[in-house]
Structure 1
Amino acid sequence: MSRTTLQREWSLVPLLAASTVVLAQSARQPDWTRLEAETMLHFQALVRLDTSNPPGNEVLVTDYLKQVLEKEGIPVQIFASEPSRPNLVARIRGSGKKPPILYMGHTDVVTVDPKKWTFPPFSATRNGGYVYGRGALDDKPHVVAGLMMLLELKRLNVALDRDVIFLAESGEEGTTGPGIDFMTREHAAEIRAEYCFAEGGGVSRVDGRTRFASVQTTEKVPRPIELTATGPSGHASVPLKGNAIARLSAALAALSAWRVPIRLNQTTREYFSRMADISAGADAQRFRAVLTPESPAAAAADDYFLRSEPRFASMLRTSLSPTIVQGGYRVNVIPSEARATVDVRMVPDEDPAVFLEAVRKVINDPTVSVAYTTTTASARPRAAPARLDSEAFRAIESFLAQDYDTVALPTMGTGATDMAQVRSIGLQCYGIGPAADVEDGPKGFGAHSDQERILETELHRFVRFSWNLVVGLARSR
């Protein structure tokens, strides 16, 4: 779809989305004071459950959710390929006039080193307006938002045109086999929907003020490659030409110096265009320059991003990062082989075969073999991006404006999420998330950090935003 067509479509957003906002507002609203207290109770309980992956043990969370939901008369289904790593599906049924909506949250968290935490990582300590704990950002907010959404839909008996499905899935943090892989392969019918909302986006605050909201509509595809260099072996006291480690080092240096060409897609083109619109001065000029990749201005902007804003540089292209090097076993032995793994995050429409050949040309050494690794801990399928002209994206834009007074930026995730698998079975998936301070990441307060935390006010605002979004799309018209 051309940008002209998209601009024409987006010019209608206020009219097309107005009915969705009105429907959400006209629905019987929760008692937000009561709901916030209940949300905090459940949120702290969920954060206190240690579901570090590995090993996962997500059954702790699914047991908790099952008990709460069934107490309210909401049926629950449990699907598990491993007993300790189940997935929970719960559904509030609508009239069936429209296809369902799926709301997802993963129940595992990354591991912790308790010695590095100010507050115990599974204490859910409230301090200074924040809740601290592993999973406070990734991804217990989505889990509690999905839980509260179903509870209130049931309590208020909201009339729906769409079923609302809540999926609490295991294994997102590196081992997707028992989680989203299992669900999309064996139980896709239970989560089939038109639209899906999950982690992957979020609202960015700078100096305490909301700047923009990232809405993930596509993501890079992990395709790690392995380099294997060979050479003569011998006693290290006699240096040999063609040392495998030296050849491997040269290959890695060549890849690190290679600037992969800019490759924009619909999502990233719109992202940088909107960033230019909300920025000023040199920042706006740089964002606009990369929209014309072959221009000198784009090269200068790319230089700046590579040097100062590497996330933007990664969003512009398929990226490579050497991550593992293996070679040698004794200090006095020249090894005959050395290996390296390079983490490749591929733009969704990149041709893997063409890209691999380009890597070989950059290395330019026939003694270094290059191949994609045959296995990975968390394989992600390539899938079509979510549409930017859908009813769901328009609703996201409208409710971000209403609840956060900010603009939505369609975003290509540089990392991987479970939405890749869900998109691959045909759902339009959008990554959303709570607001967080941009400064928190470098200070060690972000997701996966040793002081992971969320503002209490932003947790509650995210629950309300999620409610407004889903009810606005699903409520009977």
Structure 2
Amino acid sequence: MRLTALLFLLCPAFAADRFPVDWARIKPELLEHYSALIRIDTSNPPGNETNAVNYVKAVLDREGIPNQVFALEPDRGNLVARLKGNGSKRPIIVMGHLDVVGVQREKWTVDPFRAIRKDGYIYGRGALDDKDNLSTAMMLMVLLKRMNVPLDRDVIFVAEAGEEGTSAVGIRYLVEQHWDAIDAEYALAEGGGGVSRDGTVRYVSISTTEKMPRQTRLVAHGTAGHGSIPRQDNAVTRIAEAVSRVGAWQPAMRLNDTTRAYFERLATISSPEEADRYNHLTDPKRSTEIEKYFSERELSHYSMLRTSVVPTIIKAGFRSNVIPSEAEATLDIRALPDEDLRRVIHDRTVEVVAAGQASRPGSPPSRLDSEMFLVLENLTKRLYPGAVTLPSMLTGATDMAQLRAKGVQSYGIGPVIDEKDRNTGGAHADDERLEETSLYRFMEFLWNAVTDIAASKKR
């Protein structure tokens, strides 16, 4: 038995029990900060995260929490705050990003930057991505300071810019130029969360790895000419054929430690028919049938099990009667963490061009036997009896990739949402929203997790 698991058996009490919080008093304060941060428009582009940094900094300054602002560009600030421990253990990061994706206001039923409270929900851009993690992490620091919680390890709060596509001013900038300010053993950030049905939490997902995003362009070359004279080397025809081949490409399903554990645990709370599929993913007699089922009905699982290459943009020509000499297609590649990207596209009829610098590095999954993961797993059992902890691999991308590449064991967490809300009002969606009670439960989850991993065992 590993030492960390043994410690949990010998010390079943949670550190948070020694630091009781009057949540009834804290909830209005948390809601105020959460709503205020949603009302600060940090749509990226252009970001303007410094406006939100100024709000967060004012809160931390009032509480006497040391903090620093790092900015590669004046309007794209990042804030790092630190509460010191006794140094017996390495630090933990709690992280949220300040920026949000843009909105199409005409498609919203409410103002996306007013934090409207309606029918038990808070509506607004960033409600789920990522003003929830941002506000709860900030409130965590406030509570640790107010309650004078003794710490074995430093707790570092990172409010970062540029997560939505411009990490050069955010996490990449911090990692490359200010690593000493954020170097840590563990990190908690976005990328997970629970799902409930009829008020009961079924499972809590903890992301431990993610697919690698790589934008790539295919460029077809031909001879320009008049549209009335067909040519065999038509660049548009060539790019269309190349895109068709990409769309038909089916890489083999592959499991890693995270996805293997995910499907094994998911099977325990699924219907017999679903469990049968999840338990036979690697059965050569069943894999083709299961693969087809996933491709039609469980698209997220279909993506989770393979490197995906999706054509998203095609550009060619400028007049209807002119054959262009060049045509191109943009591919959104989401690669498994251990994928050799040189082998993904090997079409000799087109030129393969990397579309900009890779925004996120490849990195190994965070461990499932670390002290941090065991804390999260045991906390799930305690707060949500009967719920299963699912280690998961994100098909999207987060800024934990840069931290994992530096050796930080990073885990994605988030609030619990009801099953019926999964396909409406989610991250990046019109009318993005979060149930108010879910925000409060997530605050308690984060408080318990961090105090258990960071608070001194003796007062």
Tell me the TM-score range normalised by the shorter chain: over 0.9
Q: Are residues 53 and 352 of structure 1, via their aligned partners in 2, closer, same or farther at CA, if it must alter by over 3 Å?
A: same
Matched, 1:476 2:446: no
Matched, 1:44 2:26: no
Matched, 1:300 2:289: yes
Matches within 5 A, 1:15-94: 15-18=6-9, 22-94=13-85
The alpha-carbon deviation at position 156 of structure 1 amounts to: 0.8
**What residue is the counterpart of 2:351 in the other structure?**
369
Matched, 1:440 2:421: yes
Superimposed CA distance per residue, residues 396-445 of structure 1 (whole angstroms, 9 cap, x where no aligned partner): 101112223321111111111000011111100000001123432433x1
**C-alpha separation in 1, matches of 2:23 and 2:200:** 23
**C-alpha separation in 1, matches of 2:419 and 2:222:** 47
**C-alpha separation in 2, matches of 1:287 and 1:393:** 23
Q: Which moved more, 1:258-267 or 1:316-325?
A: 258-267
**What residue is the counterpart of 1:210 in the other structure?**
201
**C-alpha separation in 1, matches of 2:19 and 2:219:** 63
Q: Secondary structure of the equivalent of 1:224?
A: strand
**C-alpha separation in 2, matches of 1:205 and 1:401:** 14
Matches within 5 A, 1:85-104: 85-104=76-95
Conserved 8 A contact 1:20-1:395: no
User: Which letter maps to 1:113?
Assistant: Q
Conserved 8 A contact 2:81-2:157: yes
Q: Are residues 20 and 203 of structure 1, via their aligned partners in 2, closer, same or farther at CA, if it must alter by over 3 Å?
A: farther
Matched, 1:337 2:326: yes
**What residue is the counterpart of 1:467 in the other structure?**
447
Superimposed CA distance per residue, residues 105-162 of structure 1 (whole angstroms, 9 cap, x where no aligned partner): 0011111122222221111111111111111111011111111111111111111111
**What residue is the counterpart of 2:407 in the other structure?**
426
Conserved 8 A contact 2:236-2:316: yes
**C-alpha separation in 2, matches of 1:20 and 1:312:** 37
Task: State the TM-score, normalizing by the size of structure 1.
Answer: 0.92
Q: Which moved more, 1:79-88 or 1:277-286?
A: 277-286
**What residue is the counterpart of 2:174 in the other structure?**
183
**C-alpha separation in 1, matches of 2:110 and 2:200:** 27
Matches within 5 A, 1:192-231: 192-231=183-222
**Given the alignment, which residue of 233, 240, 243 partners 1:252?**
243
Task: State the TM-score, normalizing by the size of structure 2.
Answer: 0.96
Q: Secondary structure of the equivalent of 2:368?
A: coil
User: Which letter maps to 1:175?
Assistant: T
**C-alpha separation in 1, matches of 2:32 and 2:136:** 12
**C-alpha separation in 2, matches of 1:84 and 1:53:** 12
Q: Are residues 469 and 427 of structure 1, via their aligned partners in 2, closer, same or farther at CA, if it must alter by over 3 Å?
A: same
Matched, 1:407 2:388: yes
The alpha-carbon deviation at position 208 of structure 1 amounts to: 4.3
Conserved 8 A contact 2:189-2:412: yes
**C-alpha separation in 2, matches of 1:466 and 1:302:** 36
Q: Which moved more, 1:120-129 or 1:223-232?
A: 223-232
The alpha-carbon deviation at position 19 of structure 1 amounts to: 6.0
User: Which letter maps to 1:337?
Assistant: E
The alpha-carbon deviation at position 194 of structure 1 amounts to: 0.7
The alpha-carbon deviation at position 21 of structure 1 amounts to: 5.5
Conserved 8 A contact 2:242-2:349: no
**C-alpha separation in 1, matches of 2:98 and 2:198:** 31
Q: Are residues 320 and 139 of structure 1, via their aligned partners in 2, closer, same or farther at CA, if it must alter by over 3 Å?
A: same
**C-alpha separation in 2, matches of 1:462 and 1:124:** 18
Conserved 8 A contact 1:105-1:142: yes
User: Which letter maps to 2:334?
Assistant: R
The alpha-carbon deviation at position 198 of structure 1 amounts to: 0.1
Q: Which moved more, 1:53-62 or 1:431-440?
A: 431-440
The alpha-carbon deviation at position 319 of structure 1 amounts to: 0.4
**What residue is the counterpart of 2:277 in the other structure?**
286
User: Which letter maps to 1:399?
Assistant: L
**C-alpha separation in 2, matches of 1:88 and 1:156:** 22
**What residue is the counterpart of 1:114 in the other structure?**
105
Conserved 8 A contact 2:16-2:447: no
* Runs of 5+ unmatched residues, structure 2: none
**C-alpha separation in 1, matches of 2:298 and 2:198:** 18
The alpha-carbon deviation at position 209 of structure 1 amounts to: 3.5
Q: Secondary structure of the equivalent of 2:209?
A: strand
Identity among equivalent positions (%) equals: 48
Superimposed CA distance per residue, residues 48-77 of structure 1 (whole angstroms, 9 cap, x where no aligned partner): 111111111111111111111111111111
**What residue is the counterpart of 2:261 in the other structure?**
270
Q: Secondary structure of the equivalent of 1:326?
A: strand
**Given the alignment, which residue of 341, 346, 351 partners 2:335?**
346
Q: How many residues align?
A: 456
The alpha-carbon deviation at position 468 of structure 1 amounts to: 0.1
User: Which letter maps to 1:333?
Assistant: V
**C-alpha separation in 1, matches of 2:120 and 2:217:** 46
The alpha-carbon deviation at position 372 of structure 1 amounts to: 3.1
**What residue is the counterpart of 2:152 in the other structure?**
161
Q: Which moved more, 1:330-339 or 1:209-218?
A: 209-218
Q: Secondary structure of the equivalent of 2:228?
A: coil
**C-alpha separation in 1, matches of 2:313 and 2:176:** 31
Conserved 8 A contact 2:14-2:448: no
**What residue is the counterpart of 1:318 in the other structure?**
307
**C-alpha separation in 2, matches of 1:439 and 1:102:** 32
User: Which letter maps to 1:149?
Assistant: L
**C-alpha separation in 1, matches of 2:129 and 2:12:** 28
**C-alpha separation in 2, matches of 1:421 and 1:222:** 13
**What residue is the counterpart of 2:398 in the other structure?**
417
What's the Cα RMSD here? 1.7
Q: Secondary structure of the equivalent of 1:98?
A: coil
Q: Are residues 207 and 246 of structure 1, via their aligned partners in 2, closer, same or farther at CA, if it must alter by over 3 Å?
A: farther
Superimposed CA distance per residue, residues 90-115 of structure 1 (whole angstroms, 9 cap, x where no aligned partner): 11111111111100000111111222
